[in-house]
Amino acid sequence: MSALLPPSERIWGNAPLDKVEGTWIAIALVWCLFMFFMMPYWHVFGKQNYSGEAYRTTPAAYSAKVEAMVEAHTVRKETDQQIPVVRPPAGSDVYLAGRLWSWYPALELEKGQTYRLHISSLDWQHGFSLQPLNVNVQVVPGYEMVLTITPDKSGEYTIICNEYCGVLHHAMMGKIYVVDR
Amino acid sequence: MSELFRTCPRSGLVFHKPAETLIKLNAVTAVVFLAVGGILGLLVVMTRWPAVHLLSSELFYQVLTGHGIIMLLVWIIFFEIAILYFCSSTLLRSRLATPRWAWLAYALMLGGAAITGVAILQGGSSVMMTSYVPMPAAPHFYLGLILFAVGALIGCFVFLGTLVVAKNERTYEGSIPLVTFGALTACIIAIFTIASGAIILIPTFLWSVGYISEIDPLMYRVIWWGMGHSSQQINVSAHVSVWYAIAAIVFGARPMSERVSRTAFLLYIAFLQLASAHHILVDPGVGTEWKIFNTSYAMYLAVLASMVHGLTVPGAIEVAQREKGYTNGMFEWLRKAPWGNPVFSGMFISLVGFGFLGGITGVVMGTEQINLIIHNTIYVPGHFHPTVVLGTTLAFMALTYFLVPVLFRRELFLPGWAKWQPYVFGFGTALMSLFMMGAGTLGVARRHWDMAFSGAPFSFEFGGAAYMMMGLTGIFGVVSVIGGAMFVIVVVGSLVLGKKIEDKSEYTTTRPAILPLGPAAPAHHGKGFVAPGTFVLALVFLATFVVYYFLNWMYLSSVWPMN
Ligand code: HEM
Ligand SMILES: [Cu+2]
Ligand SMILES: [Cu+2]
């Protein structure tokens, strides 16, 4: 029962180390170090990273930027709620707002072009979850995060919300249409 | 002042009367909350099962908030307080320091849990256990949590006080036993945790009553996870201690090396509590270097610690079994283990489930970039049910089977049920979790009432595979709840209807004899591997880990380039 009793070696730091344990610790350590280097490696050589680019903002300031973009680049309206679909110029800054309970506005992007996608919330926290790709980031009010994205396949993508934000959380949905040039 | 002690004739454990009462009380309270949380879990999983979709949206979020808080905080922490008293007073044969404060701790925890519970029941506080600002809950929701935390903190100090008493009154010599050492680790992390909790919950409470105008939501997340993550380290330290204790109780196993096991516990203190960053990997404005430092340096050294315990616990069992003559082949020691004894089977399923399902997935999703394809999907509960349910909860259940005769002096009621319970509960939970992970990989969100998005302006359909996975989550969730119910029935049944054990075990005022030292380790070191079977199992674990790790990088590399 000795895990329940004081160790016979009075100074446990001197207890012997068994070969099985020693070998396993060495293997496990190497694996942990490997996993450690994988992250910086991917920052340099991998294509999917979030670099942490973000700015402080306020709902009012952010909302103004979104509206300016909607004003300038709306190409059509969809659904009976007349949700604007915005086609910003290739390479430009794109502003997406999460709010109770919608992603605003809908976007139309060109395949193969790179955009700076800004995301923020106008009220509570939300979860940007792009389907069916399954890319997920946290959306926090007061912070404007910038993801530089290059959609590489055309098609219809859906943004759902995966941070709980109230009773209609499940109905919060937006769209990104990726079109060929 | 005369102190009353009794010696349990079966186990040789010595109980100080006030400690015994408090251990019983905290453990029973824990089990009652487990039952309530389990009923809520059933409602949650029956709602996420698309073909059943039981509750309304509002009710679902309310019930889910209750499930998270009651399970993760109330059930687990009440039981941990019982473990702390057991590991100090009982294992060290010492009187419990300041039983009155321990009663106060109990009252605060119970009162706090009740207040938060009422807030959730009233409906205005369906904010999930994370209660991210600025989504508001009723002030008494936070107040209850604060009181609960203060109570738990007092419990931690009673534990520390008891260690001091034991040392001063020389109830043992040398160092404290390994299991008590593990409990001490848990206690130290708990104190840190509660401090973080106070730093964030007190201002949040003041905000909810209007004294503070704003709480920065990102700061909230960083500090909240300082508490939320490290509280999981408490659980890990506690359940690893329970594994060691059960290996000793069932097999008489001695730790392979005190030095290795204790150092591994110390690594938890040094590193795991820093790893909170892996909850905010895809948050805005958190620097990359910090994330990498936090997830790799800090988390991986703690992962290393768990990998070490994962080897040394079964290794100790293997050594003990081989000494008893089960030396044929690699695995006779394991085949001949008492699989019909729920104390052992519960512990072993806990160990395997925690390592293979909880551990591997935790590291994978805690990798900075991979988190992009997992964050907030139902993969996340698919990861932590193996850690807190298979790992912590099942380990505590296994220990309870040992405590019923020893502490409550009752034979197990329905021993046949007890024998099967760890398998039903383990199997149900493991499969439920696996299917949640599968569905999460396909994009299904956590904390989400309707995967068909009724009422949304646009439409989006998950594929048939995602629906099937959520259906299977539902089915195995029900199996898991049945396993949980079997536990509650066996334990409550034993306390009420179990045959009284009439062994002679009277309270006396004589001080118990000083705790003897553990037996010295025999000198078999240096003659090759003492636990080859365990080593093979560890290599299987590593191979699974490596394959799964790269699989996820592969998934990641297939999504849109972004940075
Ligand atoms: C008894 C069987 C159980 C079942 C069937 C079950 C089922 C579930 C399901 C399906 C979810 C995810 C819901 C969602 O995100 O939409 C969930 C969440 C959760 N469960 Fe369980 N669970 C069980 C036991 C436990 C236990 C024993 C614990 C803790 C020790 C636990 C802790 C949690 C926590 C903390 C959450 C997250 C709540 C949140 O997102 O705020 N569960 N459970
Ligand atoms: Cu939302
Ligand atoms: Cu939401």
The pLDDT confidence band at residue B559, using thresholds 50, 70 and 90, is confident
Q: Give the tens place of pLDDT for each residue, B399-426.
A: 999 999 999 999 999 999 999 999 999 9
* Distance of alpha carbon B543 from alpha carbon B530, whole angstroms: 22
Select the residue from A17, A96, A164, A178 to test the B interface by mutation, using most B Cβ atoms within 10 A. Answer: A164
Q: What is the pLDDT of residue A40?
A: 83
Global pTM value: 0.95
> What is the nearest CA distance from A63 to chain B, expressed in angstroms?
18
Kindly give the pairing relationship between strand B5-7 and strand A143-149. Answer: unpaired
Residue recorded with tokens 């309707």:
B450
Per the rule left: phi > 0, alpha: psi between -120 and 50, beta: everything else, A82 is left
Q: H/E element holding A147?
A: strand A143-149
Residue recorded with tokens 């390479």:
A91
* Distance of alpha carbon B272 from alpha carbon B297, whole angstroms: 10
Residue recorded with tokens 């694996």:
A31
Neighbours of B496 (CB within 10 A): 9
* Distance of alpha carbon B532 from alpha carbon B129, whole angstroms: 43
Kindly give the pairing relationship between strand A106-110 and strand A173-179. Answer: parallel
Sequence letter at residue A24: W
* Distance of alpha carbon A85 from alpha carbon A107, whole angstroms: 5
Q: Judge whether A166 and A98 are in contact, CB under 8 Å.
A: no
Give the residue-averaged pLDDT of B231-253: 94
Minimum mean pLDDT range among A114-128, B109-123, B470-484, B509-523? B509-523
**DSSP structure string for B543-556:** HHHHHHHHHHHHHH
Q: Give the tens place of pLDDT for each residue, B100-146.
A: 999 999 999 999 999 999 999 999 999 999 999 889 999 999 999 99
Q: What is the pLDDT of residue A62?
A: 96
The pLDDT confidence band at residue B200, using thresholds 50, 70 and 90, is confident
* Distance of alpha carbon A88 from alpha carbon B173, whole angstroms: 75
Nearest CA, atom 34, ligand 1? B68
Q: What is the pLDDT of residue B331?
A: 94
B193 CA → ligand 1 middle, Å: 21
Tokens describing residue B425: 């509960």
Kindly give the pairing relationship between strand A83-86 and strand A106-110. Answer: parallel
A139 CA → ligand 2 middle, Å: 9
- Yes or no, beta carbons of B300 and A49 under 8 Å apart: no
What is the interface pTM, i.e. ipTM, of the complex?
Answer: 0.94
The pLDDT confidence band at residue B555, using thresholds 50, 70 and 90, is confident
- Yes or no, beta carbons of B296 and A35 under 8 Å apart: yes
* Distance of alpha carbon B417 from alpha carbon B402, whole angstroms: 15
Residue B531's alpha-carbon distances to B22, B267, B272, in angstroms, are: 39, 24, 28
Q: Give the tens place of pLDDT for each residue, A58-77.
A: 999 999 999 999 999 999 99
* Distance of alpha carbon B342 from alpha carbon B400, whole angstroms: 10
Q: Under DSSP, is residue A57 helix (H, G, I), strand (E, B) or coil?
A: coil
Strand partners, A103: A98
> What is the nearest CA distance from A172 to chain B, expressed in angstroms?
6
Closest CA to B304 of B236, B255, B392: B236
User: Does position B523 have pLDDT exceeding 80, yes or no?
Assistant: no
B370 CA → ligand 2 middle, Å: 22
Closest CA to B419 of B338, B341, B337: B341
Q: Give the tens place of pLDDT for each residue, B343-390.
A: 999 999 999 999 999 989 988 888 878 889 999 999 999 999 999 999
Q: Give the tens place of pLDDT for each residue, B291-350.
A: 666 665 556 777 888 999 999 999 999 999 999 999 998 999 999 999 999 999 999 999
Closest CA to A104 of A70, A73, A143: A70
Residue B11's alpha-carbon distances to A91, B170, B321, B360, in angstroms, are: 73, 22, 20, 36
Q: Give the tens place of pLDDT for each residue, B23-47.
A: 999 999 999 999 999 999 999 999 9
Q: Which of B312, B460, B517 sits opposite A160 (nearest CB)?
A: B460
Q: Which segments within A46-92 are labelled E, that is strand?
A: 54-56, 74-78, 83-86
Closest CA to B426 of B363, B487, B495: B487
Neighbours of A4 (CB within 10 A): 24
User: Does position B524 have pLDDT exceeding 60, yes or no?
Assistant: no
- Yes or no, beta carbons of A21 and B369 under 8 Å apart: no
Nearest atom (ligand 1) to Cα of B128: 41
Residue A143's alpha-carbon distances to A53, A88, A123, B103, in angstroms, are: 10, 22, 11, 45
Q: Judge whether B247 and B316 are in contact, CB under 8 Å.
A: yes
User: Does position B525 have pLDDT exceeding 60, yes or no?
Assistant: no
Q: What is the pLDDT of residue A1?
A: 46
Nearest CA, atom 16, ligand 1? B447
Give the residue-averaged pLDDT of B62-87: 97
User: Does position B60 have pLDDT exceeding 80, yes or no?
Assistant: yes
Q: What is the mean pLDDT of chain B?
A: 91
Q: Which one has a higher pLDDT value, B242 or B281?
A: B242
Q: Which of A13, A137, A143 sits opposite B218 (nearest CB)?
A: A143
Task: Label residue A81 exposed, middle or buried (CB < 10 Å: 0-12, 13-18, 19+).
Answer: exposed
The pLDDT confidence band at residue B159, using thresholds 50, 70 and 90, is very high
Residue recorded with tokens 């008494």:
B140
Nearest atom (ligand 1) to Cα of B477: 5
Query: What residues have CB less than 8 Å from B211, skipping those under 6 apart?
Result: none
- In the DSSP assignment, the letter for residue B390 is I
Residue recorded with tokens 């990989």:
B441
Q: Is the minimum CB–CB distance between B315 and chain A shorter than 8 Å?
A: yes
Closest CA to A56 of B133, B285, B563, B282: B285
> What is the nearest CA distance from A114 to chain B, expressed in angstroms?
9
Minimum mean pLDDT range among B26-30, B178-182, B275-279, B351-355? B275-279
* Distance of alpha carbon A136 from alpha carbon A163, whole angstroms: 10
> Which of the listed residues B39, B44, B60 should we mutate to test ligand 1's pocket, taking the one with most ligand atoms within 8 A of CB?
B44
* Distance of alpha carbon B88 from alpha carbon B270, whole angstroms: 22
> Cα dihedral angle (A126, A128, A131, A134), rounded to 10 degrees?
-110
* Distance of alpha carbon B493 from alpha carbon B37, whole angstroms: 19
Rg (CA), chain B: 23
On chain A, the residues whose CB falls within 8 A of the CB of B373 are 134-136
Q: pLDDT exceeding 90 applies to what percent of chain B?
A: 73
Task: Label residue B67 exposed, middle or buried (CB < 10 Å: 0-12, 13-18, 19+).
Answer: buried
User: Does position B168 have pLDDT exceeding 90, yes or no?
Assistant: yes
Q: Which of A142, A144, A167 sits opposite B58 (nearest CB)?
A: A167
* Distance of alpha carbon B281 from alpha carbon B368, whole angstroms: 6
* Distance of alpha carbon A74 from alpha carbon A87, whole angstroms: 6
Residue recorded with tokens 């935790």:
B362
Q: What is the pLDDT of residue B272?
A: 56
* Contact residues of ligand 1, CB 6 A cut-off: B 38, 41, 44-45, 48, 64, 67-68, 71-72, 75-76, 128-129, 378, 381, 385, 388-389, 393, 446-448, 477, 480-481, 484
* Distance of alpha carbon B475 from alpha carbon A13, whole angstroms: 49
CA angle B429, B110, B275 (to 5 degrees): 55
Q: Give the tens place of pLDDT for each residue, A3-48.
A: 899 988 777 777 667 788 889 999 999 998 888 888 888 888 888 8
